[in-house]
């Protein structure tokens, strides 16, 4: 998720579950709910650093708990104000850890993937239910925070007294609505996968499928199908009256097996690239020195992730001996941090 959504989610969680927390609790939860996204700064140090650090170490369970403890300790440094409330570390750690874990949970529901079990496993986990920037989630969170504010102004105007912590009901309703929305997205995602797997593509059956959420509508999905000889990129609509035509897919054929391609896939840059590319697509070009192999994250035209896109470039001689290898930014990829 983008940092704004994470910040709104952390603040909503604070008002719903920890409404009586002091100001330092609010600030600490906001930090804990967004600090993991600092790993996006790795984009400033090149494509290799980006693949190594983005959504990896900072997005693990171990890092989340460590950062939550660190933030809880640092939040105790300001001196107690006369008549103010100061929580002990054990009281502030729970809400701060909850905000940090909420960040991981929301990112887990996306397609980019997070290394939850680092340093014990490099595996990336992703559910593919949510878009990176989900306008519906932003609307739900903003409504949960702003509508109670407007309601409070009306209540004050007529002289009525509000019961309970301010904004707790609205925030609780927002979190409940958010869970229902994510659950609905999960069901629709499963339906799209079933639809993709039930068809044939240019006479071939699917070997692997994936569907990625689109921000504007929960009923529009971006599907990818891998068959024996090709990768297919297709838009899928679900819901009443929706139809699906597998022939509308954009097809990209795989290159023929070769010693040069096998050698390229075994290079250090290719191994790093393949850890993050869900559907890698290779292209091979003949050169005077041998072969030029490019590894991309399929599809090329519509990015299922966000921000910068990385490609692996490997040159070999005719026998497959590696001449050069590098990671580079794909031309035209976006330079945004989130």
Q: How confident is the model at residue 78 (pLDDT cuts 50, 70, 90)?
A: low
d(CA 27, CA 21): 10
**303-317: average pLDDT:** 79
- How does strand 220-226 pair with strand 322-329? unpaired
Residue 165, domain member (yes or no): no
Q: What is the pLDDT of residues 219-255, one digit of tens each?
A: 999 999 999 999 999 999 998 888 899 999 999 999 9
Share the mean pLDDT of the chain.
Answer: 88
pLDDT at 307: 63
Q: How confident is the model at residue 161 (pLDDT cuts 50, 70, 90)?
A: low
Tell whether the model's pLDDT for residue 89 goes beyond 80.
no
pLDDT at 239: 83
**165-183: average pLDDT:** 92
Rounded to 5 degrees, what are φ and ψ at 107? -70, -30
Q: How confident is the model at residue 159 (pLDDT cuts 50, 70, 90)?
A: very low
pLDDT at 75: 84
Could you identify the residue written with the tokens 């904004």? 167
% of the chain surpassing 70 pLDDT: 88
Are 291 and 316 within 8 A, CB to CB? yes
Based on the number of CB atoms within 10 Å of its own CB, is 258 exposed (0-12), middle (13-18) or buried (19 or more)? Answer: middle
Query: Other CB atoms closer than 10 Å to residue 91's CB: what's the count?
Result: 14
Cis omega (within 30 of 0) for bond into 119: yes
- Give the end of a domain, one of 198, 224, 252: 252
Residue 124, domain member (yes or no): yes
Residue 157, domain member (yes or no): no
Domain limits for position 239: 185-252
Could you identify the residue written with the tokens 């679900």? 238
**80-104: average pLDDT:** 78
* Poorest-pLDDT segment among 53-67, 109-123, 288-302: 288-302
Pair 116, 28 in one domain: yes
- Give the end of a domain, one of 204, 223, 252: 252
Q: How confident is the model at residue 281 (pLDDT cuts 50, 70, 90)?
A: very high
Residue 113, domain member (yes or no): yes
Sequence-separated (6 or more) residues with CB below 8 Å from residue 166: 19, 148, 152
Q: What is the pLDDT of residues 23-77, one digit of tens each?
A: 899 999 999 999 999 999 999 999 999 999 999 999 999 999 999 999 998 887 7
* Poorest-pLDDT segment among 60-69, 70-79, 167-176, 281-290: 70-79
Pair 193, 262 in one domain: no
Residue 335, domain member (yes or no): no
- Give the end of a domain, one of 237, 252, 267: 252
How many domains does the chain divide into?
3
Pair 10, 93 in one domain: yes
Q: Looking at the whole model, is its pTM more than 0.85? A: yes
Pair 114, 37 in one domain: yes
pLDDT at 337: 45
pLDDT at 147: 83
Pair 114, 11 in one domain: yes
Pair 115, 52 in one domain: yes
Residue 313, domain member (yes or no): yes
pLDDT at 162: 55
Q: How confident is the model at residue 166 (pLDDT cuts 50, 70, 90)?
A: confident
**171-183: average pLDDT:** 96
Q: How confident is the model at residue 305 (pLDDT cuts 50, 70, 90)?
A: very low
Residue 6: both structure tokens together: 């994470």
pLDDT at 65: 96
pLDDT at 141: 96
Residue 145, domain member (yes or no): no
**204-231: average pLDDT:** 94
Pair 223, 264 in one domain: no
Pair 7, 128 in one domain: yes
Pair 246, 303 in one domain: no
% of the chain surpassing 90 pLDDT: 71
Pair 271, 312 in one domain: yes
Q: Left (φ > 0), alpha (ψ -120 to 50) or beta: where does 123 sit?
A: beta
Residue 263, domain member (yes or no): yes
Pair 117, 30 in one domain: yes
Pair 123, 193 in one domain: no
Q: How confident is the model at residue 148 (pLDDT cuts 50, 70, 90)?
A: confident
């Amino acid at each position: 998720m983008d940092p704004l959504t994470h910040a709104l989610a952390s603040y909503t969680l604070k008002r719903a579950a920890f409404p009586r927390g002091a100001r330092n609790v609010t600030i600490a939860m906001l930090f804990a709910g967004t600090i993991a996204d600092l790993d996006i700064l790795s984009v400033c140090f090149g494509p290799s650093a980006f693949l190594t650090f983005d959504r990896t170490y900072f997005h693990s369970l171990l890092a989340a708990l460590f950062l939550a403890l660190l933030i809880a300790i640092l939040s105790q440094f300001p001196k107690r104000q006369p008549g103010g409330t100061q929580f002990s570390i054990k009281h502030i750690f729970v809400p701060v850890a909850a905000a940090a874990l909420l960040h991981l949970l929301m990112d887990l529901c996306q397609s980019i993937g997070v290394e939850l079990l680092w340093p014990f496993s490099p595996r990336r986990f992703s559910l593919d239910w949510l878009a990176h920037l989900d306008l519906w989630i932003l609307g739900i969170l903003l409504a949960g925070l702003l509508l109670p504010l407007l309601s409070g102004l009306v209540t004050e105007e007529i002289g009525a007294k509000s019961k309970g912590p301010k904004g707790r009901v609205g925030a609780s309703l927002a979190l409940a609505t958010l869970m229902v929305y994510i659950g609905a997205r999960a069901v629709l995602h499963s339906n799209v996968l079933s639809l993709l797997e039930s068809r044939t593509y240019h006479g071939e059956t699917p070997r692997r499928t994936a569907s990625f959420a689109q921000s504007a509508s929960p009923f529009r999905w971006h599907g990818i199908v891998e068959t024996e000889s090709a990768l297919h990129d297709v838009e899928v609509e679900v819901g009443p009256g929706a139809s699906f035509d597998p022939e509308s897919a954009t097809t990209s054929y795989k290159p023929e097996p070769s010693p040069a391609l096998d050698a390229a896939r075994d290079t250090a840059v290719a191994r790093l690239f393949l850890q993050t590319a869900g559907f890698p697509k290779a292209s091979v070009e003949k050169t005077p020195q041998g072969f030029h192999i490019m590894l991309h994250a399929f599809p090329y035209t519509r990015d299922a992730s966000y921000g910068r896109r990385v490609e692996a470039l490997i040159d070999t001689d005719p026998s497959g001996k590696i001449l050069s290898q590098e990671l580079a930014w794909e031309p035209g990829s976006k330079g945004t941090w989130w």
